[in-house]
Amino acid sequence: MALVPTTVSAGCVRSARSAFIYNRQSNQLHVTSQVEVHEPHRICFVMSNPKSLAGPAALEAARALHLTIDPWILRTPVLRAVGIEDALGSGTRVSAKLEFLQQTGTFKARGALASLGRLSPAERAAGVTAVSAGNHAIAVAYAARVYDVNARVVMLSTASPLRVQRCRDFGAEVVLVDDVHEAFRVAEHIQETDGRSFIHPFEGEGVTLGTATLGVEICEQIPDFDVLLVPVGGGGLCSGVSLAARLLNPSATVIGIEPVGADTMYRSFSAGEPQGIDRVDTIADSLGAPYALPYSFRLCRDNVERIVRVSDDELRAAMRFLFRKQKLAVEPACAATTAAVLGPLRDEVAGKHVALVMCGSNIDWQTFAKYAEL
Ligand SMILES: Cc1ncc(COP(=O)(O)O)c(C=O)c1O
């Protein structure tokens, strides 16, 4: 039996002895020992039709992926955030998923491992490319090292030197360019000339299943949350986390948090379809996607109650607060959920159990001190 028979639309192989195959025609997930694994001990993931990523089959696919990427990710801890609870008063309970302690410093490792894991051996041999302000590039570089794939990533010359160095440390070649439009042009050129696969930062089933593994962990570690707050950039993080939360904790409310200066998902929710903005203007560079795209938009729309916006001043105050009261030094994107709970959502969460996704910590000390105004 081939690893990817035509009737199989999604599946995941952990070893020669256990495999998960989702059959699109029967809409069923099978566990089988009959699969021939052409690359033992490596991730083999066959993607499904995007429309099938819903319901129990999606959850099983996320769980199967979780097993396969398990050797390369950490089960990040959950913190009872008593500093935030004290500031809120009113019996509110706050649990924070410290995903900024993940390999590579952000949740992005999950999606990158999932995306590279689904490439064919020929695609892996040709290498990968990506465009990123930093965290996605680091994650792609990390996943490329895991799979022994060559990575050539395009980053902005304004990117934090710390992030550029982390990519290089994982063995990726970094191409620096001056603006985001040029970055995409260069990545396209690299794709064409080198025949590399483009690993998207937030759109597509691989990314969503990757972030769904985070959602599954959150629901296992915090089984009784009432409200879950998730930062939103392009929406890949929120698409998978909210999908898992909807399936595992259906009575909870999921709210996406965006910076005012990059509120593409907020505008997309209002318009009922993906929207772009002309100018991104926020200190939360990791949340600075200039547009939403259909796949993650649809999943967010289906599983997220609404998008709430926070200002850069609220982000700075939250960074400062997290440092002083929780002893956490995080990048602005990571402070977004704290900013929301201390700001616009304060009254709404009173007396409830709130779970916060804290997503990234790739920031150098000077930038941190400047934003947190220490
Ligand atoms: C630390 C961090 N948080 C949140 C996000 C937003 O993720 P998404 O673009 O999938 O919404 C990113 C994206 O790069 C990130 O690096």
Residue 293's nearest CA partner among 230, 211, 359, 207 is 207
Q: Sheet containing 44-46: give its strands across.
A: 28-32, 18-23, 8-15, 44-46
Per residue in 176-192, pLDDT (tens digit) is 999 877 888 999 999 99
Q: Output the pLDDT for position 22.
A: 37
**Does 234 lie in the same domain as 270?**
yes
Handedness of CA 19, 23, 28, 34 (dihedral sign): negative
Residue 7 structural domain: 1-47
**Does 346 lie in the same domain as 260?**
yes
Q: Among 35-39, 103-107, 192-196, 301-305, where is mean pLDDT lowest? A: 35-39
**Does 86 lie in the same domain as 27?**
no
| pLDDT band of 20, cuts 50, 70, 90 | very low
Rounded to whole angstroms, how far apart are CA atoms 205 and 318? Answer: 32
Q: How many Cα atoms are found within 13 Å in the side-chain-facing hemisphere of 58?
A: 28
Per residue in 44-83, pLDDT (tens digit) is 333 334 454 778 889 999 999 999 999 999 999 999 999 9
Instruction: Tell me whether residue 179 is in a domain.
Output: no
Does 40 score more than 90 pLDDT? no
Of all protein residues, whose CA lies closest to atom 13 belonging to ligand 1?
286
Q: Output the pLDDT for position 28.
A: 35
| pLDDT band of 35, cuts 50, 70, 90 | very low
Beta bridge partners of 309: 258
Q: Output the pLDDT for position 110.
A: 98
**Does 90 lie in the same domain as 20?**
no
Q: Output the pLDDT for position 31.
A: 34
Q: Output the pLDDT for position 90.
A: 85
Of all protein residues, whose CA lies closest to atom 1 belonging to ligand 1?
360
Instruction: Tell me whether residue 133 is in a domain.
Output: no
- What CATH number is attached to the domain comprising 278? 3.40.50.1100
**Does 356 lie in the same domain as 283?**
yes
Stretch 331-357: mean pLDDT, rounded?
98
Instruction: Tell me whether residue 157 is in a domain.
Output: no
Rounded to whole angstroms, how far apart are CA atoms 196 and 218? Answer: 34
**Does 90 lie in the same domain as 28?**
no
The number of domains in the chain is 2
Dist. CA 10 → ligand 1 center (Å): 25
**Does 337 lie in the same domain as 308?**
yes
pTM of the model as a whole: 0.86
Does 42 score more than 50 pLDDT? no
**Does 37 lie in the same domain as 70?**
no
287 lines ligand 1 (CB under 6 A): yes
Instruction: Tell me whether residue 359 is in a domain.
Output: yes
286 lines ligand 1 (CB under 6 A): yes
Dist. CA 230 → ligand 1 center (Å): 10
**Does 284 lie in the same domain as 220?**
yes
Instruction: Tell me whether residue 210 is in a domain.
Output: yes
Instruction: Tell me whether residue 113 is in a domain.
Output: no
234 lines ligand 1 (CB under 6 A): yes
**Does 256 lie in the same domain as 322?**
yes
Q: Output the pLDDT for position 16.
A: 29
**Does 289 lie in the same domain as 332?**
yes
Domain end, chosen from 47, 66, 85, is at 47
Residues 6+ apart with CB under 8 A from 271: none
Burial of 263: CB neighbours in 10 Å, binned 0-12, 13-18, 19+: buried
Q: Which atom of ligand 1 is nearest to the CA of 132?
A: 14
| pLDDT band of 133, cuts 50, 70, 90 | confident
Does 121 score more than 90 pLDDT? yes
- Give the residue, out of 103, 106, 163, 334, with the most ligand 1 atoms within 8 A of its beta carbon, to mutate for a pocket test: 106
- Give the residue, out of 101, 103, 104, 108, with the most ligand 1 atoms within 8 A of its beta carbon, to mutate for a pocket test: 108
Instruction: Tell me whether residue 258 is in a domain.
Output: yes
236 lines ligand 1 (CB under 6 A): yes
Q: Are 312 and 260 in contact (CB under 8 A)?
A: yes
Q: Which atom of ligand 1 is nearest to the CA of 362?
A: 1
Residue 264's nearest CA partner among 254, 252, 250, 274 is 274
Q: Please give the torsion angle defined by the CA atoms of residues 250, 251, 254 and 255, in that order, rounded to the nearest 10 degrees.
A: 150
**Does 291 lie in the same domain as 217?**
yes
Instruction: Tell me whether residue 176 is in a domain.
Output: no
